Structure 1
Amino acid sequence: MKSITLALIFSVLLSCQNNAQSNKNQETVTNAQPVEVPIKNGKARAYFASGCFWCVEAIFESVNGVDEVISGYSGGHTKNPTYEASNTGKTGHAEAVEVIYNPNIVSFETLVDVYFGSQNPTQINGQGNDIGSQYRSIIFYQNDEQKQIIIKKKDALAKKLNTTIAAEIYPFQKFWIAEAYHQNYERLHPNNSYIQNVSIPRLNRFKAKFPHLLKDKH
């Protein structure tokens, strides 16, 4: 019995140690200096996380001025995250998207409006039935100007709704592209039950709310 008790104590201590190390690593991420991605061929890049990236990718791709959206992982402390690893919640990463856009057509500020307006902004660690830190909402800034835009809009939304907004604000560090089968998932798998029951309804709610931002306004 004593040996079992000691083993349990050691296991708890080891678990606490691992959690502390994980938290320390995550603090390094959140306190880091932001990395600014340069404009290339007239295109800028922005990074967002708000639940399943299948849903988020389709939403941003419907916005006029957005050229391409890539699904991936960001916000964590481990290198080369995979779908399986991120689903454990131990990597610190969330499912995220890289939005490649023309800043002469759509501004970062508008993309932030799209971000907050296309999710449940009060849900912590998830969207709908997708629960876990890998589905949490994070909005990434690359410089102080973007950070101030995000803070201003988050504070205004909190005041409007009279509640706490769940989105975390992180300095952008690195975006890891997800596995090939995740890319353009909603478009390539329109009959998938998740796409039918979750992604498409979420996209349609966004389109109804922001018709003036859509590529196809008809």
Structure 2
Amino acid sequence: MKIHIKIYNLIFGALLFASCGQASSNTLTTTEEPGKDEGVRKINLTAPKGKAIAAFAEGCFWCSEEIFEDVAGVDSVISGYSGGHTQNPTYEKVSTGTTGYAESVLVYYDPKKVSYPELLKVFYASHDATTKDKQGPDEGTQYRSVVFYASASEKAMAETAKTDALKSGMFQRAIVTQIVPLTAFYRAEEYHQNYAKHNKDNPYIQNVSEQRFEQFKKTYKGKLKP
């Protein structure tokens, strides 16, 4: 499994579109106005019985949500905000890059079908973990690379995965991924949920999200859904 950073740069560098969400507010298939807090709420981080949760940030959550939802053993994915220091985050506030929040995904999964270490492999296979506060055409602290851990064992596994990714030759530069506690997760506005699925004609989805998704499927060696 090897991500070719040059390929990423060629794909993303040629794009003329603005950041995730900001490029596409005029194409939202919803009556909800971007920037308002309809649907934004703090999520209970207790997993359902027999299930588990994991949280990651790796650039635009439109891309990340679609990728993790395709992994066998994943039940559902929520796009939202985590890692910040202000109250009541909204997309408009997070997009300023001053709240500390990162666009994140909360992954609900069946640990009998997919392990946490395997989800960490998905994480590193699905984005460029060497670009600080940047992913493709999106720039700002809200697009940084983060693994949010919920326990000491998850922290240890995250640190091991980071070391393994560095040693594997997957990346040609130092990994800048942060490994921090998962203290809170806020569900993003409803128009962000399953955005890639419902907005296939959106230029950002076609030229950033889908190309990143296709690159992931070429490099990831784990099991995906049919």
Q: TM-score, normalised by structure 1?
A: 0.80
**Once the 2 structures are TM-superposed, how far is the Cα of residue 163 of structure 1 from its aligned partner?**
3.4
Give the C-alpha shift of residue 37 in structure 1. 4.1
> Deviation per CA, 1:64-109, whole angstroms, max 9, x where unpaired?
0001000000001112100010011110000000000001000011
How far the C-alpha of 1:63 sits from its partner, in A, is 0.2
Q: For residue 166 of structure 1, report the CA deviation from its aligned partner.
A: 1.2
Structure of higher RCO (CA pairs closer than 8 Å, 6+ residues apart) = 2
Picking from 157, 176, 188, the partner of 1:178 is 188
Please tell me whether the aligned partners of residues 37 and 44 of structure 1 are also in contact (alpha carbons under 8 angstroms).
Answer: no
Q: Which residue in 1 is equivalent to 2:213?
A: 203
Post-superposition CA distance 1:115-168 (Å, at most 9, x none): 011101111101011010000011011111111111111122223346320111
Please tell me whether the aligned partners of residues 37 and 142 of structure 1 are also in contact (alpha carbons under 8 angstroms): no
Letter in 1 for 2:140: G
Structure with greater helix share of residues: 1
Which 4+ runs in 1 deviate beyond 6 A? Answer: none
Gaps of 5+ in 1: 1-35
User: Does residue 101 of structure 1 match 2:109?
Assistant: yes
- Give the gaps of 5 or more residues in structure 2: 1-43
Tell me the distance in 2 between the aligned counterparts of 1:61 and 1:151.
Answer: 24
Correspondence for 1:73: 81
Instruction: Provide the alpha-carbon RMSD of the alignment.
Output: 1.4
The equivalent residue for 2:4 is none
Q: Deviations 1:29-49 (Å, cap 9, x if unpaired)?
A: xxxxxxx94431322110000
How many residue pairs end up in the alignment?
Answer: 181
Amino acid at match of 2:194: N
- 8 Å contact from structure 1 (residues 71, 182) kept in 2: yes
Which residue pairs with 1:28 in the alignment? none
